Amino acid sequence: MKNIILILCIFYLHDLPAQNTYTNPIGDGIMIADPFVLNHGNEYFLYGTNAGDGFKAWKSTDLVHWDSIGYVIEEMKIHGVKSPFGPRK
């Protein structure tokens, strides 16, 4: 009897529809590493790093649509340093 119930449960679970995969819309199309979101009033600010260009920032009111506000810190112009994020040569 237990085997029959187990088999029926397996067939029931097999026929359940798969759940949809959720994708996070924050930063869709924005290529950054080390993202950080800061809330200030009614606006959100997204900060992140990229391939040696500096720290960029975006702002949003809904956490989905982001407007670029440019660089917070531009690429460092120091002799021998190609990136402000770590030793790279």
Distances (CA, A) of 68 to 39, 45, 63, 71, 83: 16, 10, 13, 9, 21
pLDDT tens-digit profile of 1-19?
Answer: 777 777 766 666 666 566 6
Judged against a pLDDT cut of 60, whether residue 84 lies above it is answered with no
Note the Cα 77 to chain centre separation in Å.
Answer: 28
pLDDT tens-digit profile of 39-69?
Answer: 999 999 998 877 666 778 999 998 888 999 9
Strand order in the sheet with 67-74: 33-40, 43-49, 54-60, 67-74
What's the pTM value of the predicted model, to 2 decimals?
A: 0.58
